[in-house]
Amino acid sequence: MTATIISAAASPYDRRKEVEEFENTKLGVKGLVDSGIHRVPTIFHHPPDSLPESDPEEDPIPVIDLSGPESEVVDRVQAAAAKFGFFQVVNHGVPVSLLDRLVKAVRGFHELPAPEKTAHYRRDVSAGASFFSNVDLFVSKAASWRDTLQIRLGPTLADLDAIPSICREEVIEWDKEVKQLGERLLALLCQGLGVHANRLKEMSCSEGRVMVGHYYPYCPEPEKTVGIACHTDPGLVTVLLQDQVGGLQVKHDGKWVNVKSIHGALVINIGDLLQITSNDQYTSVEHRVVANSHREPRVSVGVFFNPSLRDNLYGPLPELVSAEKPAVYRQFTYSDYITRFFKKELDGKSLPNYYRLQNE
Ligand SMILES: CC(C)(COP(=O)(O)OP(=O)(O)OC[C@H]1O[C@@H](n2cnc3c(N)ncnc32)[C@H](O)[C@@H]1OP(=O)(O)O)[C@@H](O)C(=O)NCCC(=O)NCCSC(=O)/C=C/c1ccc(O)cc1
Ligand SMILES: O=C(O)CCC(=O)C(=O)O
Ligand SMILES: [Fe+2]
């Protein structure tokens, strides 16, 4: 007993080493759970003040029926994007059977036998498809309880060979559907701003599509960590499919609220680049996922819509800038923007704040 205490004191906690050891397993958080651990390792411990308290109950996030009258849909999307930065859509045109198959296929990937799965483990995303745990593992202060399969859908789909065969068919079908839905959402959001419906599409904003298939394994000590830390999404809009487990929370009026899972619905949220482009008419809102305390794993699939024209200038649309509403942000290239994104850990709204002009 004494010897253990002495050896612990003699070897102080070396975070970098433990992060590297975890990375080298190439099995992610699920690998830890499968190995039978009952405690959350220290590299995953978040400071108590950043951890979720008791579960919030209410869900005020609007649910919008996209098959309703067009002008009503525009008004509801506009109001939700301005007030909540989040909404759910139903009757969105994507077959619910495809959504179910996609969740199953992504889960199937994460539950592959170890050798098949580790073959996909890489940080280099150049082939367009990679499996890793924690996109910001080497820059964050605390890791989170999830693994991710990331696949580039557009402007060109990842190399087919790089996409795990267990979900290839579903991913290809999903991209066709989600691209159409994304274009519709961008058009609705443009109309809500009073600009031409094709304005964002013409700026290539439906072209850069990145899919993440997250897997949140059961967490033995959910009070010590999170599934995904509080952050905003960097792109224009995100389309998110979540399964029935739940755990997604959104900040609204300074309080955390749950986003309830509705089978067949898709969650839509505004990213930092659309907040900037809309000159603050739409809001990109902080969200997080609590660590999964259910025996059942949680699966979600997000698609981030980004511009593909990287050297063009982005900033508030000139139509939205006037003497009464001066530009809130300066202009920048998407290359500059995304490089800055990868220099920081997953956090709150530091990206829009960086480009904010000091008007007052
Ligand atoms: C907006 C992204 C980052 C880029 O989209 P894109 O511009 O349409 O995609 P590209 O394929 O053209 O990649 C642009 C650049 O980003 C790089 N990149 C593309 N994914 C990756 C990748 N997972 N790893 C490290 N390089 C990459 C990619 O290599 C490329 O680098 P480069 O050619 O050198 O400019 C998109 O991949 C994306 O949203 N990915 C998902 C990120 C994600 O998991 N988001 C969840 C919430 S936000 C979050 O987790 C933030 C994490 C974070 C991560 C790292 C940090 O240092 C700090 C924070
Ligand atoms: O898994 C979720 O519900 C949310 C994931 C998320 O916020 C993200 O990938 O940016
Ligand atoms: Fe997000």
Task: Provide the token pair at 88.
Answer: 């759910």
Cα of 129 to ligand 2 centre, how many Å?
A: 18
Report the alpha-carbon distance of residue 213 to residue 110 in Å, rounded: 9
CB distance 146 to ligand 2 below 6 Å: no
Max Cα separation, the chain? Answer: 73
Closest by alpha carbon to 208, among 348, 34, 334, 47?
334
CB distance 285 to ligand 2 below 6 Å: no
Phi-psi region of 254 (alpha: psi -120 to 50; beta: other; left: phi over 0): left
Which residue do the tokens 């930065």 mark? 85
ipTM of this complex: 0.91
**For helices 168-193 and 70-83, angle between their N-to-C axes, nearest 10 degrees:** 90
Mutate to test the pocket of ligand 2, among 88, 249, 300, 346 (most ligand atoms within 8 A of CB): 300
CB distance 247 to ligand 2 below 6 Å: no
**Contact call for residues 270 and 283 (beta carbons, < 8 A):** yes
Mutate to test the pocket of ligand 1, among 122, 130, 135 (most ligand atoms within 8 A of CB): 135
pLDDT of residue 51: 83
Atom of ligand 2 nearest to the CA of 287: 7
pLDDT tens sequence for the chain (360 residues): 344 444 445 567 899 999 999 999 999 999 999 999 999 999 999 998 888 876 666 789 999 999 999 999 999 999 999 999 999 999 999 999 999 999 999 999 999 999 999 999 999 999 999 999 999 999 899 999 999 999 999 999 999 999 999 999 999 999 999 999 999 999 999 999 999 999 999 999 999 999 999 999 999 999 999 999 999 999 999 999 999 999 999 999 999 999 999 999 999 999 999 999 999 999 999 999 999 999 999 999 999 999 999 999 999 999 999 999 999 999 999 999 999 988 765 556 678 999 999 865
Task: Provide the token pair at 64.
Answer: 């919008």
Whether a cis peptide bond, with omega within 30° of 0, leads into 155 is yes
Going from the N-terminus, what domains does the chain have, and what CATH number goes with each?
57-359 (2.60.120.330)
Which residue do the tokens 């050896």 mark? 7
Atom of ligand 1 nearest to the CA of 126: 29
Report the alpha-carbon distance of residue 216 to residue 212 in Å, rounded: 12
Report the alpha-carbon distance of residue 360 to residue 345 in Å, rounded: 29
